[in-house]
Amino acid sequence: MRNSLAALVLASVSVVPAVARAGWVVEGSYGKGVKVSPDPVKATQSNIMIALGYAIPFLRFEVGFLNNLPDLKDSKYDIEIRPMVVIAPPILPIYGRVVFAVTNLLHGKTTVAYGAAGGLKLGLGPVGVFAEAGVLPRSVNQPTGGNKLNWVIEGRAGVVLEF
């Protein structure tokens, strides 16, 4: 057992430097969400995001430019900016993402969203595909005064290019 564990650690240590490298990252993705709380439960606008970033071993720092599409009744095209930090072990296909978003930059009152997502990335070399699910609570001003926290669950799938 001890020899097997030592062999696994030695293999991991020898593979990680070959797999982990620093460089630029570009992601393109499609997302769709659902506001689950407070009632009523309803879909959010579909969105397309282009994210630019820089990766170092285990971490990626990205800024996403998100376009909310007017695909729901009474919805308008709008833009969000999403700074993100991704924790991605080099030899595992899973990752975690911390998201901070500034929303409604074109219409309505600008709000802030924050949250986290987890996903799976598969690829060969510098090209990969990913799918993730996340929670993005949003603080929304109420017409009667005060703020209310809207809980949004979002799914996203896309392509990533590493340079």
pLDDT in tens, 4-27: 555 544 444 444 444 557 899 999
Domain 20-162 belongs to what topology? Porin (2.40.160)
For residue 63, give every residue at least 6 positions away whose Cβ sits within 8 Å of its Cβ, in sequence order, or none: 51, 52, 53, 81, 82, 83, 84
pLDDT tens-place string over residues 76-105: 999 999 999 999 998 899 999 999 999 989
pTM, entire model: 0.82
d(CA 131, CA 24): 20
Going from N- to C-terminal start, the domains of the chain cover 20-162
First and final C-alpha spacing in the chain? 40
> Is pLDDT of 3 > 70?
no
Q: Which amino acid is at 61?
A: F
